Amino acid sequence: MSTANVDRSGGGHAHHFESAEHEFDTSKFGTWLFLCTEVLMFGGLFVAYFIFSNLFPETFLEGSKYLDWKFGAVNTAVLLFSSFTMVLAIYYAQQNNNKKCANMLMITFVCGLIFMVIKYMEYTHKIEMGLLPGDMFAFQGAESSNLGLYFSVYYMMTGLHGSHVIVGMGLILWCWFRARKNEFNSGYFTPVECVGLFWHLVDLIWIYLFPLLYLID
């Protein structure tokens, strides 16, 4: 988010900012603006969810029965915990402790991995059953004639979310490398802060997806 090749160890900053503080603040502002775009992008899917679930309540009720809430609940806990370790990474960066910062980032990364493995297990199970989106829906014995639509919503929402988890994991790994090189200090930890904000947003979206997809009554 800033111009490269700036020495950060002694409060350095890119040439068009007044101070390191100014640069940090602006980077964070940019990140929040980017989060807004993410909210509205996912928002489109939420709007579709609410419209279709209002039009076809029985379809959505039936569809959610084929999802196992235990997977969803475990994944929620994993993501919440990863958010906690992510913010701890910032906490340790603020205390000039790059080693612990790196460890926390690694734990966050592993949590993301666990989330994706569980997601993978869920997906393969559904795909074997033929619970596929829209046109490809092949499950025999569905009561609702458009159950495929529910699974379209399910795959689009969790798929877009999962792709964000993967991107987030990549960014966290990048921060981990930089923390290993002792690049962060109490005056400069902008990448951890901004990646952290992104990771929390991914968590935030899952907080809503979990009850909406798994716990419909």
Partner 1 sequence: MSSAADTSKNYLNHEKGLWSWLTTVDHKRIGIMYMITVLLFFAIGGAFAMLIRLELFAPGGTFEAQVYNQFMTFHGAIMVFMVIIPGIPAFLGNFVLPLHLGAKDVAFPKVNLMSWYCLIVGAIISFISLFYHGADTGWTFYTPYSIQTDNGTILLVLGAFVMGFSSILTGVNFVATTHRLRCKGMGFFQMPLFVWGLYSTAILQVIATPVLGITLLLLAAEKIMGIGFFDPKLGGDPVLFQHFFWFYSHPAVYIMILPAMGIISELITAFSRKVIFGYKAIAFSSVGIAAVSFFVWGHHMFVSGQSELAGVIFSFLTMLVGVPTAIKTFNWVATMYKGSIQFQSPMLYALGFLFLFTIGGVTGIMLATMAMDVHFHDTYFVVAHFHYVMVGGTLMAIMGGIYYWFPKMFGKMYSELGAQLSFVLIFVGFNVTFFPQFILGAKGMPRRYHDYPEAFSFLNSVSSIGSWTIGLGFIVALIVIIHGLLKGAKAPDNPWGAKTLEWQTTSPPPHENFYTDPVVTGGPYEYR
Partner 2 sequence: MAGHHQLNFKVLRNTLFALLSLTILTVLVAKPVSGFDAGMFNFVIAMGIASLKAGLVLAYFMQLKDDNKLYLGLMISCVFFLLLFFGLSFIDIISRAPVDSTL
What is the rounded CA–CA span in Å between residue 183 and residue 192? 11
3-class secondary structure, 197: helix
- 3-state class percentages of the chain: helix first, strand second, coil last, to nearest 5: 75, 0, 25
Does 27 participate in binding partner 2 (rule CB under 8 A)?
no
Closest CB to partner 1 among residues 60, 189: 60
Q: What is the dihedral of CA 61, 157, 202, 173, to 10 degrees?
A: 130
Does 30 participate in binding partner 1 (rule CB under 8 A)?
yes
Q: Which of 63, 148, 162, 168 binds partner 1 (CB under 8 A)?
A: 148
What is the rounded CA–CA span in Å between residue 4 and residue 13? 10
Contact pattern from residue 163 through residue 202 relative to partner 2, giving x for each residue in contact according to CB under 8 A and a dash for the rest = -----------------------xx--------xx--xx-
Q: What is the dihedral of CA 173, 76, 124, 66, to 10 degrees?
A: -160
Selected range binding partner 1 among 48-56, 84-92, 170-178, 196-204, rule: CB under 8 A: 48-56
- Which residues bind to partner 2, rule: CB under 8 A? 21, 24-25, 28-29, 32-33, 35-36, 39-40, 43-44, 46-47, 50-51, 54-59, 64-65, 69, 73, 76-77, 80-81, 83-84, 86-88, 90-91, 94, 144-146, 186-187, 196-197, 200-201, 203-204, 207-208, 210-212, 215-217
